[in-house]
Amino acid sequence: MTFQIELVSPESISYSGEAEMVIARTLEGGDIAFQPGHVPFVGVLAVWSVDVIRPDGDRDTIAVHQGFVQVAGTKVSILSDVSESADQVDVERARAAKSTAEAALVANKEDADATGALARAELRLRVAGAEA
């Protein structure tokens, strides 16, 4: 059994397809996996990846920088301002962003912007399969 998954950004629907399972990480809630027949659910997503297990067993990993997940009936919608699939990640840029953020954190440990930037850069690199 499968269900429909779609990733909706403000500008367009950036990903849609069938899935057997969707794994996401919610804010404060930890990882959560959805399979067909899941109870209706709305959650705020953490800066983390969303894994889509397709019916053929393949796994698509998408970096989601903030957003929501809504499960209703046979449909999973992920609403996100910024999301990137593995092939969309600019590894060089992510590396550069990571080192900038790290440098900023050395100077000021409380820098919230830098903490966020570091989390996003690390997520990008992880999704792209290029551990820094």
Partner 1 sequence: MAGGRERVLRRRISSVQNTKKITRAMELIAATRVVKAQQRARAAKPYAERITSVIENLAAGGAEVNHPLLRQAEKVERVGVVVISSDRGLAGPYNSAVIRAAERQVQNARSEGADYALIVIGKKARDYFAFRNFTIDSYTDGISDNPTYEDARRVAETVASIFTEGRVDRVELVYTEFMSIGSQKVATRRFLPLESTETIAAEGGGEAGVSGSFEFEPSPEAVLAALLPRYVEARLFGALLESAASEHANRQRAMKAATDNAEELITKLSREMNRARQDSITTEIMEIVSGAEALGSDDETEDRPAAVGVEA
- Binding residues (CB under 8 A) for partner 1: these are 8-13, 26-29, 32, 39-44, 68, 70, 72-73, 77, 79, 81
CB nearer partner 1, residue 47 or residue 105: 47
CB nearer partner 1, residue 105 or residue 119: 119
Q: Which residue spans within 48-115 are E strands per DSSP? A: 48-53, 59-64, 67-72, 75-80, 83-85
Residues 6+ apart with CB under 8 A from 88: none
Q: How far is the CB of 117 from partner 1 (least distance, A)?
A: 16
Q: How far is the CB of 129 from partner 1 (least distance, A)?
A: 28
Q: Both tokens of residue 8?
A: 């909706």
Residues 6+ apart with CB under 8 A from 106: none
CB nearer partner 1, residue 11 or residue 87: 11
